[in-house]
Amino acid sequence: MNAPAYNFAYLDEQTKRMIRRAILKAIAIPGYQVPFASREMPMPYGWGTGGVQVTAAILGPEDVLKVIDQGSDDTTNAISIRKFFGKTAGVATTTSTVDATVIQTRHRIPEAPLHGGQILVYQVPIPEPLRFLEPRETETRRMHALGEYGLMHVKLYEDIARFGHIATSYAYPVKVNARYVMDPSPTPKFDNPKMDNCPALQLFGAGREKRIYAIPPYTTVVSLDFEDHPFTRYRFDAPCALCGAGDSYLDEIVIDDQGGRMFVCSDTDYCEGRQSAGHRGSESAAPHKERAHG
Q: How far apart are the C-alpha atoms of 113 and 210, rounded to whole Å?
A: 29
Smallest distance from the beta carbon of 194 to another protein, in angstroms? 24
Which among 209, 216, 193 is positioned nearest to 51, based on CA atoms?
209
Burial class from Cβ neighbours inside 10 Å (0-12, 13-18, 19+) for residue 220 reads middle
- Known active-site residue 198: no
Task: Point out which residues bind another protein (CB under 8 A).
Answer: 133, 142, 146, 148, 150-151, 153-154, 157-158, 160-162, 226-229
Instruction: Spell out the residues 6+ positions from residue 106 whose beta carbon is closer than 8 angstroms to its own.
Output: 48, 51, 68, 69, 70, 77, 78, 122, 123
Smallest distance from the beta carbon of 25 to another protein, in angstroms? 22
Catalytic position from the list 50, 205, 243, 294: 243
Smallest distance from the beta carbon of 141 to another protein, in angstroms? 12
Catalytic position from the list 48, 265, 273, 281: 265
Catalytic position from the list 31, 48, 71, 273: 31
Smallest distance from the beta carbon of 145 to another protein, in angstroms? 8
What value does the CA radius of gyration of the chain take, rounded to a whole number of Å?
20
Contact yes or no for 11/53 (Cβ under 8 A): yes
Q: Which is nearer to another protein, 232 or 282 (CB)?
A: 232
Q: Which is nearer to another protein, 29 or 64 (CB)?
A: 29
Q: How far apart are the C-alpha atoms of 151 and 80, rounded to whole Å?
A: 39
Catalytic position from the list 271, 273, 281, 294: 271
Q: Which is nearer to another protein, 84 or 149 (CB)?
A: 149
- Known active-site residue 265: yes
Contact yes or no for 41/52 (Cβ under 8 A): yes
Strands of the sheet with 174-176, listed across from one edge: 180-182, 174-176, 221-223
Q: Which is nearer to another protein, 179 or 280 (CB)?
A: 179
- Known active-site residue 243: yes
Catalytic residues: 31, 240, 243, 265, 271
